[in-house]
Every structure is written in C-alpha cells, then in structure tokens.
C-alpha cells in the first residue's frame, strides 16, 4: 500500500463522510473500500432512531461492493468525527464491522485510519487477531 493509495482512499472516505446521516449522534463517518480490480466503493454511516438498525460506513461500503459482485478486497479507509468538527482522532471500525471484514477479507487486508494528520495503516489481523469464522 503506497502513500498515493493511502491519500486517495483517505480523501474518498472524507468525501463520503459528507453524505453521512447522523442526526442523533452528530458523529459522521465515511469509508472508502478498494477492490483488487481498482474499483472503489464508498459508504457513510446512516443512523435511525431505534439505533440497533444503524449502519456503519464500513458496512455500507461492503454492502455496495458485494451487491455489485465484488469479493476481492485490498483496503478500506475510515474517517470519522463530529459532523462540524475537525478530525483529530482515529475512528477504528466497531466489532460488527470487523466481523464483516473478516467474512470477506484475508488477514493482510489493510485498514487505513487517520487523525487528520498522519494516516495509520493496520491489518485485519492487527485489529481482529482471534477472529471467528466457519473456516477458522
């Protein structure tokens, strides 16, 4: 994963963040998912008043990609923070999103997080070392 790809995906995630629907928390998250064929799918969090059916940006991006037939994923960038605030901390995927990533990705799948200054690149194995799966 080179710096150009990291910057590109982070910018796409930031653009997606602007389309977040977060009227309850005010916390907007965007994600940009890179497929092996170079296609990028974006997603933003979508909150609903019952909270349980709320969808995270990462899962929206994966749902869009899987619906289009994609199954080979390289990396995802995730950017989040207060809707009208400055991005100054990392926004790691929640446990449910990590499990969804585990369903479709190998351990070397890259997760790009940023605090607005320095991107941090982790792997799925880094953030979910003891993952559950039927093939584990």
Asked, for residue 43, whether it belongs to a domain, the answer is: yes
Count: domains in the chain: 1
pLDDT of residue 135: 64
Active-site annotation, residues: 58
What is d(CA 57, CA 66) in angstroms, rounded to the nearest whole number? 14
* Residue 133: inside a domain: no
In a domain, 134, yes or no: no
Q: How far apart are CA 54 and CA 32, in angstroms?
A: 18
Per-residue pLDDT in tens (0 to 9) along the chain, 136 residues? 899 999 999 999 999 999 999 999 999 999 999 999 999 999 999 999 998 899 999 999 999 999 999 999 999 999 999 998 888 899 999 999 999 999 999 999 999 999 989 999 999 999 999 888 776 5
User: The domain that contains 30 carries what CATH number?
Assistant: 3.40.140.10
pLDDT of residue 131: 85
Distance CA 76, CA 33 (A): 4
Residue 33 domain flag: yes
Output the pLDDT for position 85. 82
Q: How many whole angstroms separate alpha carbon 40 and alpha carbon 32?
A: 6
DSSP string for 41-105 = EEEE-B--TTSTT-B-HHHHHHHHHHHTT---EEEEEEEEEETTS---S-----HHHHHHHHHH-
Q: Which domain holds residue 106?
A: 3-127
Whether 136 maps to a domain, the answer reads no
Angle at 131 between CA 111 and CA 5, to 5 degrees: 15
Separation CA 72–CA 48 (nearest Å): 30
Neighbouring CB atoms inside 10 A of 88's CB total 11
Is residue 135 domain-resident? no
**132 is a domain residue:** no
Phi, psi of 79 (to 5 degrees): -130, 130
Residue 47 maps to a domain:
yes
């Amino acid at each position: 994963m080179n710096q150009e790809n990291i910057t590109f995906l982070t910018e796409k995630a930031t653009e997606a963040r602007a389309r977040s629907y977060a009227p309850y928390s005010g916390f907007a998250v965007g994600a940009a998912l890179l497929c092996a064929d170079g296609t990028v799918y974006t997603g933003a969090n979508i909150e609903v008043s019952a909270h349980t059916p709320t969808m995270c940006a990462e899962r929206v991006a994966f749902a869009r990609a899987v619906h289009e037939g994609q199954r080979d994923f390289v990396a995802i960038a995730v950017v989040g923070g207060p809707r009208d605030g400055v991005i100054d901390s990392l926004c790691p995927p929640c446990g449910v999103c990590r499990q969804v990533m585990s369903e479709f990705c190998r351990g070397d799948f890259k997760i790009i997080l940023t605090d607005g200054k320095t991107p941090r690149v982790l792997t799925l194995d880094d953030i979910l070392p003891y993952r559950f799966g039927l093939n584990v």
